[in-house]
Amino acid sequence: MSSHHPVPSEPGGDPASVELLTAALRRDAADLELYAQVLTGTLADALPPGSVAVERKRGMADRLAGREGRVARLEVSLGEQRLVLDLSGGRPSGEVCKEVRGVVLSRRPVPLDEWVRELAEAIAARAGSDARARAALERLVLGD
C-alpha cells in the first residue's frame, strides 16, 4: 500500500484517510448506474457475507440478454447501522438507520454526499479490524 493513499487502521480512522475513502466512493457518482455497479462489487468484496443486500430491477431486455438488471436499491448493514441507497426514482436518495437486533430505532434521510460520508466512516472502522476489508478498500482507493 502506498503511503500516499492510506486506509484507516483504527476505528474512526484518520480524518484524511476517511476523506480519501469518501472521494474514492464518490468518484463515479455522476453516472449512477456505473456508481451502483462499482459500489456493489467493491462492498461485496470488502464486507462480511450478508452485509450487503442489492435489489435489482430487470426489464424484458435484461431477461432476454441474461443480464442481472439495474441496481434499484442497496442496503449496507454494519453493526447497528444500516445505510440504504435508493436509486429507483431517477434521483438517488439515502437513508441512515440505527438498528438493534433487527428493529429499526431511527431513520434519517440524507443527501447522497452525506450517505457516502457515513458509508466511508463505517467501512474505515470495519477495515481497521478486518484484513479482507482493508485489502478491498486499498483496491478501491488506489483504483486497481
> Does 28 score more than 80 pLDDT?
no
Judge whether residue 2 has pLDDT over 60. Answer: no
Q: How confident is the model at residue 25 (pLDDT cuts 50, 70, 90)?
A: low
Mean pLDDT of 27-56: 75
For 33, phi then psi, to 5°, come to: -65, -45
Q: Does residue 142 surpass a pLDDT of 90?
A: no
> 104 or 29: which carries more pLDDT confidence?
104
pLDDT at 17: 60
| Burial letters 9-24, b for 16+ CB under 10 A, else e | eeeebeeebbebbbeb
Per-residue model confidence (pLDDT) at position 31: 66
pLDDT at 9 (0 to 100): 39
Average pLDDT, rounded, for the chain: 75
Which residues sit opposite 94 in a β-bridge?
Answer: 85, 110
Please provide the size of the chain in residues. 144
pLDDT, greater one: 24 or 15: 24
Instruction: State the Cα angle at 25 between 20 and 28, rounded to 5°.
Output: 120
Report the C-alpha gap between 76 and 83 in whole angstroms: 5
What percentage of residues in the chain have a pLDDT greater than 90?
Answer: 15
On the 0-12 / 13-18 / 19+ scale of CB atoms within 10 A, 94 is buried
* Strand, coil or helix: 121: helix
What are the phi and psi torsion angles at 138 (to 5°)? -60, -45
pTM above 0.75, yes or no: no
CB count within 10 Å of CB 81 equals: 16
132, 46 Cβ separation under 8 angstroms: yes
pLDDT at 80 over 70: yes
